[in-house]
């Protein structure tokens, strides 16, 4: 069946017409008909209001699927990103895992043998359609367990009006240019010349993008953690000396500044530059901020890797239903359904077929710069079962690297030691 996607502007009324309740149901086969299967899906909410909640997306998609598959009910429970991973963990720990979960990580469950492999579920054409970087990031020991569901990359956003008032004609391409522009913005009275959110909300993202732009990263080419590499120490020493200590990162200490605060400040017109993902476009437009977007500047101006982020669909083996789960996920990853989701939430498609459409469609022009970054992106090391622990440690500790009196080398060495300990414990 070809499902005609419903645009998000018309979804509120559509959901009311559907009368679909999005809740967690039972645990597998329900009722007296042994051929009737209920699948339970736990999903994360990408919306910022009731009007564009992910409940709306799933309600439309499930209704269309069930119309063609009357022997299957799909019950969806949607949680905020603050809660969804914890909710799924509690279900798994209680022995009642959902059939599918769309969450932030998968490696721990895969290592415990709780998940189906993608090849157990998906048609050959669906699995082959995943963007290669994303499919590879979903592997543990060479087998794909994490199916990418949503993706994004990062660009440097800048406020055009603030740049103009500070006499800056072009966006920076090097670190030195970024620092010089930040100094001009400070002299022009901008509150946050460069917003550096290293607070506990999402410090691991800002950290990774800066590491990559300095030629480093979380892991070495050998695949081991390398947080205290020469490149990473140089990067954070530069950030401390050239931005933070010179008062170019704003009134809130980077270690206390969260991404949401930084994004809100940009939308309010108080930030000259910051690293952002696609959702910042809408926030800025809604507040009337004229902005530009360019690839992240690098130390010497050469093109470097950018950070890519993906969220993951997983399928648990607990209740069986492999065939039913596979058919439903083939539908989820249909090109038009992937496009509908991506366009609704300003995210990048995870399939090549949808990416090809988006790269040329006029309605997707604003997302094209992010899409162009995907082939040059590197994702978190999510295939390592230690990554969740390492990310949590980075969130809490990296701000100290640029704090007053802090020593970047010492902080990064401590984070590396903790990362190696977590990796050994997970082995």
Considering Cα of 387, then 87, then 136, then 207, what sign does the dihedral take?
negative
Burial of 376 (0-12, 13-18, 19+ CB in 10 A): middle
Phi, psi torsion values for 155, nearest 5 degrees? -130, 160
Mean pLDDT of 172-178: 97
User: pLDDT band at 34, cuts 50/70/90?
Assistant: low
Domain range spanning residue 139? 8-152+310-379
User: What length does the chain have?
Assistant: 427
Mean pLDDT of 243-264: 96
Question: 86: Cβ–Cβ under 8 A, 6 or more apart, which residues?
Answer: none
User: pLDDT band at 23, cuts 50/70/90?
Assistant: very low
User: pLDDT band at 308, cuts 50/70/90?
Assistant: very high
Burial of 31 (0-12, 13-18, 19+ CB in 10 A): exposed
| CATH (domain of 236) | 3.40.190.10
Pair 87, 16 in one domain: yes
Cα-based angle 28, 312, 317 (whole degrees, multiple of 5): 30
**pLDDT at 49 > cutoff 50:** yes
| Residue-level pLDDT at 208 | 97
Pair 234, 253 in one domain: yes
Is residue 73 one of the residues assigned to a domain? yes
Closest among 158, 420, 417 to 280, alpha carbons compared: 158
**pLDDT at 29 > cutoff 70:** no
Percent of the chain with pLDDT over 70: 92
DSSP state of 316: B
Least confident of 220-224, 225-229, 248-252, 294-298: 220-224
**pLDDT at 276 > cutoff 80:** yes
Q: What predicted TM-score, i.e. pTM, was given to this entire model?
A: 0.84
Pair 232, 361 in one domain: no
Pair 106, 50 in one domain: yes
308-329 as b/e: b if 16+ CB within 10 A: bbbbbbbbbbbbebeebbbbbb
pLDDT: which is higher, 301 or 414: 414
Task: State the Cα–Cα distance between residues 379 and 137, nearest whole angstrom.
Answer: 7
Mean pLDDT of 373-391: 90
User: pLDDT band at 222, cuts 50/70/90?
Assistant: confident
Pair 273, 175 in one domain: yes
| Residue-level pLDDT at 5 | 35
pLDDT: which is higher, 3 or 116: 116
Q: Residue 153 in contact with residue 308, Cβ under 8 Å?
A: yes
Pair 331, 394 in one domain: no
Please report, for residues 299, 380, 417, the alpha-carbon distance to residue 302 in angstroms, rounded to integers and kept in the order given: 8, 22, 31
| Residue-level pLDDT at 26 | 35
Pair 107, 22 in one domain: yes
Cα-based angle 66, 71, 76 (whole degrees, multiple of 5): 50
Number of domains comprising the chain:
2
Task: State the Cα–Cα distance between residues 212 and 221, nearest whole angstrom.
Answer: 13
Pair 349, 371 in one domain: yes
82-102 as b/e: b if 16+ CB within 10 A: eebbebbeebbeeebbbbbbb
Task: Please give the mean pLDDT across all residues of the chain.
Answer: 90
Is residue 39 one of the residues assigned to a domain? yes
**pLDDT at 37 > cutoff 70:** yes
Pair 339, 390 in one domain: no
**pLDDT at 7 > cutoff 50:** no
Residue 113: how many CB atoms within 10 A of its CB? 7
| Residue-level pLDDT at 304 | 84
Residue 222: how many CB atoms within 10 A of its CB? 6
Pair 137, 213 in one domain: no
Q: Is 38 helix (H, G, I), strand (E, B) or coil?
A: strand
Is residue 300 one of the residues assigned to a domain? no
Is residue 303 one of the residues assigned to a domain? no
């Amino acid at each position: 069946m070809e499902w005609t996607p419903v645009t998000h502007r018309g979804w509120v009324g559509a959901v009311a017409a559907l009368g679909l309740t999005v809740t967690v149901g039972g645990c597998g086969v329900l009722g007296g008909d042994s051929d009737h299967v209920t699948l339970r899906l736990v999903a994360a909410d990408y919306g910022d209001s009731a009007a564009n909640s992910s409940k709306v997306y799933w309600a439309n998609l499930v209704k269309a699927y069930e119309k063609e598959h009357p022997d299957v009910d799909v019950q969806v429970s949607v949680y905020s990103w603050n809660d969804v991973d914890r909710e799924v963990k509690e279900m798994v720990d209680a022995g009642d895992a959902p059939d599918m979960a769309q969450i932030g990580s998968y490696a721990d469950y895969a290592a415990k043998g709780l998940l189906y492999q993608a090849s157990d579920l998906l048609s050959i054409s669906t699995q082959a359609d995943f963007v290669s970087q994303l499919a590879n990031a979903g592997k543990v020991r060479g087998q794909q367990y994490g199916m990418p569901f949503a993706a994004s990359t990062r660009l440097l956003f800048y406020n055009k009006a603030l740049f103009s008032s500070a006499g800056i004609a072009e966006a920076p391409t090097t670190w030195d240019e970024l620092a010089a522009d930040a100094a001009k913005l400070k002299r022009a009275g901008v509150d946050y010349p460069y917003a550096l959110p290293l607070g506990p909300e999402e410090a691991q993202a800002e950290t990774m993008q800066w590491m990559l732009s300095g030629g480093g990263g979380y892991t070495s080419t050998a695949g081991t953690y390398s947080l205290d590499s020469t490149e990473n120490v140089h990067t954070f020493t530069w950030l401390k000396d050239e931005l933070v200590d010179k008062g170019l990162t704003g009134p809130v200490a980077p270690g206390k500044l969260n991404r949401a605060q930084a994004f809100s400040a940009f939308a309010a017109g108080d930030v000259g530059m910051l690293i952002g993902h696609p959702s910042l476009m809408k926030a800025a437009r809604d507040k009337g901020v004229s902005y530009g977007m360019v690839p992240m500047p690098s130390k010497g101006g050469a093109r470097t890797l950018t950070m890519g982020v993906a969220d993951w669909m997983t399928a648990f083996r607990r209740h069986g239903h492999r065939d039913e789960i596979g058919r439903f996920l083939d539908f989820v990853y249909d090109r038009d359904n992937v496009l509908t989701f991506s366009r609704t939430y300003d995210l990048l498609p995870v399939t090549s077929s949808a990416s090809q459409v988006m790269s040329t469609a006029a309605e997707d022009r604003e997302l094209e710069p992010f899409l162009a970054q995907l082939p040059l992106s590197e994702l978190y090391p999510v295939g390592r079962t230690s990554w969740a622990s390492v990310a949590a440690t980075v969130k809490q500790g990296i701000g100290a690297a640029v704090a007053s009196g802090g020593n970047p080398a010492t902080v990064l060495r401590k984070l590396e030691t903790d990362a190696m300990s977590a990796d050994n414990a997970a082995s």
